Amino acid sequence: MNNTSGHTIKSEDNTFFAKPFMKWAGGKSQLIPELTSRLPKEIIDTGKIDTYIEPFVGGGAFFFYLKSRFQINNSYLFDINRELIIGYKVLQNDPKELINHLNILEIEYINKNEEERKQYYYNIRDRYNSQINSFDYIKYNTNWIERASHMIFLNRTCFNGLFRQNKNGEFNVPHGRYKNPRICDKENITKVNLALKNTEIICGDFSESSKYVNNNSLVYFDPPYRPLTKTSSFTSYSKEEFIDNDQIRLSEFYKELNKKGAYLILSNSDPKNEDPNDDFFDNLYKDFIIERVNAKRIINCDPKKRGEIKELIIRNYP
């Protein structure tokens, strides 16, 4: 297989083409070509990444892509969303049991009529939400497998296929009407499991990634978007908000990691889409290379506003 530079990478395992196991708001699949063409020359030339770090992993579209095309020695993936992290850890530790759970959910769901499916969906959703206060999110145990299966089930069968939580952490998306949803994607679960080898998955704030970063690291930041409009609330991936102060905190963190000599690449929404005079990110990242690329924003709730917009890509290397 060739990477972008024509460098041949050996296919020693079957990690190729693993896709995100969750449909996630802000998923970066459509930005992958823009990001890849801006990888450091050294990485493109050698086909190797010593340490890959993603402080806001979400669905992990870029991680899975890189993992299938580059030789990555170690990866560290962070996210503050504890439900998502449960999913990653179960995919890493217990893929077969997860497949068994999802298989049962799929068979039970698919064989029902529309009204029964709806009932089944809300039963799972109620059960999922009722566990929040008593669930052990700290210590990995077999209950994590069922919870991850429910999260994936809800993601596959809910309206618009997203994962949205309210302030209390409850999953609050209504039932969707997919005719034949793929609830148990056995093949992809197996690929994701392989892609997660040599990977540490950590639930926490982005700043906790600092200790893993050195001058052999590539860090890709994809923080929650700064809302395009004052009314838009699409930064709510989890019950925690990501406000302008967090964007500022992140830019300070970026400067701190820059001093460590790591390669840093960051994507974000461009506030100039709405207000051409908004220099928020231009000011925060003025010491770095800022580019604006075309992107299709798919998380806007208003379909009319889902057209081409600009996205920022910010690098600390030529």
Ligand X SMILES: C[S@@+](CC[C@H](N)C(=O)[O-])C[C@H]1O[C@@H](n2cnc3c(N)ncnc32)[C@H](O)[C@@H]1O
Tell me which residues touch ligand X (CB under 6 A).
24, 26-28, 55-56, 58-61, 78-81, 205-206, 222-224, 237-238, 240, 242
Integer Cα distance of 269 and 309 in angstroms: 9
CB of 242 to ligand X, least distance (A): 5
What does the buried/exposed string (b/e) look like for 31-49 if buried means 16 or more CB atoms within 10 Å of the residue's CB?
A: beebbbebbbeebbeebeb
Beta carbons within 8 Å of 194's beta carbon, 6+ residues apart: 13, 14, 15, 18
CB of 160 to ligand X, least distance (A): 15
Integer Cα distance of 271 and 239 in angstroms: 23
Q: Closer to ligand X by CB, 81 or 199: give it.
A: 81
Burial of 121 (0-12, 13-18, 19+ CB in 10 A): buried
CB of 98 to ligand X, least distance (A): 19
Q: Closer to ligand X by CB, 58 or 271: give it.
A: 58
CB of 235 to ligand X, least distance (A): 8
User: Which residue is closest to ligand X by CB?
Assistant: 58
Q: Is 267 helix (H, G, I), strand (E, B) or coil?
A: strand
CB of 100 to ligand X, least distance (A): 26
Whether residue 243 contacts residue 79, with contact meaning beta carbons closer than 8 Å, is answered with: no
Q: Closer to ligand X by CB, 118 or 310: give it.
A: 310
Q: Closer to ligand X by CB, 63 or 121: give it.
A: 63
Q: Closer to ligand X by CB, 183 or 250: give it.
A: 250
- Residue 295's beta-bridge partner residues? 309
How far from 232 is each of 68, 206, 227, 268, CA to CA, in Å? 35, 23, 6, 15
Integer Cα distance of 222 and 54 in angstroms: 8
CB of 316 to ligand X, least distance (A): 19
Going 250 to 255 to 260 to 265, the CA torsion angle's sign is: positive
Q: Closer to ligand X by CB, 53 or 99: give it.
A: 53
A 10 A CB-CB count for 245 gives 9
Q: Closer to ligand X by CB, 47 or 55: give it.
A: 55
Q: Closer to ligand X by CB, 59 or 181: give it.
A: 59
CB of 20 to ligand X, least distance (A): 6
Beta carbons within 8 Å of 136's beta carbon, 6+ residues apart: 143
CB of 213 to ligand X, least distance (A): 15
